[in-house]
Amino acid sequence: MKATITDVAKEAGVSIKTVSRVMNNEPSVRQPTRDKVMAAVKSLNYQPNLAARNLAGTKAFSIAFIYDNPNAYYVIDMQNGILSACKKQGFELVIHPCQAKSENLLEEITNMIKHSRIAGLVLTPPFSERPEFVQHLLDLEVEVVRIISGSSLPDNLAPCVMVNDREAAFNITQHLIDLGHKDIGFIAGGAEHMSTVERMRGFKQALHDNDISLDESLIVHGEYSFESGVQSAKQLLSADKKPTAIFSCNDEIAAGALFAARLMGVDIPTHLSITGFENSPFSRQTWPRLTTANQPNVKIAEDAANLLIAKARKQTAKLPMPQFVPQLIVRDSTADINAQ
């Protein structure tokens, strides 16, 4: 027979209320008591019914992840990171894909929040970058934590996990410059994403700091997709002034650029260096493997979820604001200009 909370309380020699406080990870429980309860939980293989707990109590024990992102690898990493935090802290995860440009977005999210009884939401771009959308959620009296590109808070609406795309993009561009490249193409992602803006700023800053003039003809405005990488690279490689290197705003774009170069008979990296961004599986599944920046999306998502759960439990007084700088990974897709 399946163990109940009453069985756990009897085994540990404590009240049912104490077991409930331990299972809810409330900080007021003394460590010896917590240890006794958890030993009983393990001994009896007790599995709390989180859905029933949500319905029975006044507190919500679910958080939601809403997204509109064509990159499946990014979405899966985010889900895995948030799930990891939820499992460790006794929360459930509601996953809700939606269309950022939908006319009924606010109504859709409002209904989801009310029906699911969630404690808060983890927001990723483009939702995390819309102050009016964040304010709407706060008006519904739910907690919000945002994952957002930048090095400083854009406002004081809600806590953020920052990803310093600008510094990482600067480092990628500097790597290409150190290899002797000056005519560097840039394939941008969607203009609605702050990551695109920040990565372009880092790219331009590296050129400026190395006294290299910015050539606007080498910048192509695309989308975060393989197909966009293909078309943008073809455009760059068909121009009179061809780049010797291409900075791609993510690995999926870079994989498309590499594919286009191969179709056009351009050898990588002998005749053209290509970089990506994020260190997604795309960067390791291409040949040659892509030089990129490692963006630890699972860890970023887990930190965001932990911050959100702490806010829901009113434990945020001493919590730091996480910031990540994606780290350069040099692989086979970049080479010294003298090798060309």
Residues 71 and 216 in one domain: no
C-alpha span between 292 and 284 (Å, rounded): 10
Residues 38 and 180 in one domain: no
Residues 103 and 210 in one domain: no
Is the pLDDT assigned to residue 53 strictly greater than 90? no
Dump pLDDT digits (tens) for 58-83: 456 889 999 987 788 999 999 999 99
pLDDT tier at 229 (50, 70, 90 boundaries)? very high
Residues 197 and 279 in one domain: yes
Dump pLDDT digits (tens) for 181-213: 999 999 999 988 999 999 999 999 999 999 999
Beta-carbon count within 10 A of 331 CB: 17
Is the pLDDT assigned to residue 96 strictly greater than 50? yes
Tokens, residue 56: 């029975």
Residues 305 and 332 in one domain: no
pLDDT at 131: 94
Instruction: Please tell me the pTM assigned to this model.
Output: 0.81
| 57 within domain boundaries | no
Is the pLDDT assigned to residue 54 strictly greater than 50? no
Residues 72 and 183 in one domain: no
| 68 within domain boundaries | yes
SS3 label, residue 254 = helix
| 53 within domain boundaries | no
Tokens, residue 256: 């498309």
Sheet holding 323-324, edge to edge: 92-97, 62-67, 120-123, 143-149, 160-163, 323-324
Residues 200 and 257 in one domain: yes
30-39, 174-183, 241-250, range with the lowest pLDDT = 30-39
pLDDT tier at 113 (50, 70, 90 boundaries)? confident
- Centroid of chain to Cα 227: 22
Residues 195 and 249 in one domain: yes
- Amino acid letter, residue 159: P
| 74 within domain boundaries | yes
Cβ burial, residue 271 (10 Å; 0-12/13-18/19+): middle
C-alpha span between 34 and 215 (Å, rounded): 63
| 246 within domain boundaries | yes
Residues 151 and 173 in one domain: no
Domain count, the chain: 3
| 323 within domain boundaries | yes
Burial of 37-72, coded b for 16+ CB within 10 Å and e otherwise, reads bbebbeebebebeeeebbeeeeebbbbbbbbbbebe
C-alpha span between 156 and 152 (Å, rounded): 11
| 36 within domain boundaries | yes
Residues 102 and 236 in one domain: no
Domain interval for residue 32 = 5-48
Is the pLDDT assigned to residue 55 strictly greater than 70? no
Which CATH number is 20's domain given? Answer: 1.10.260.40
| 109 within domain boundaries | yes
Which CATH number is 184's domain given? Answer: 3.40.50.2300
First to last CA, the chain: 71
pLDDT tier at 19 (50, 70, 90 boundaries)? confident
Non-local CB neighbours of 321 within 8 Å, separated by 6+ positions: 153, 159, 160, 161, 162
pLDDT at 24: 66
Residues 152 and 17 in one domain: no
Residues 133 and 279 in one domain: no
Among left, alpha and beta (phi > 0; psi -120 to 50; other), residue 141 is: left
Tokens 């029975």, residue located: 56
* Segment 259-284 mean pLDDT: 96
Tokens 């008591």, residue located: 33
Cβ atoms of residues 181 and 245 within 8 Å: yes
C-alpha span between 200 and 203 (Å, rounded): 5
Which of the residue ranges 42-51, 239-248, 314-323 has the most confident prediction, judged by mean pLDDT? 239-248
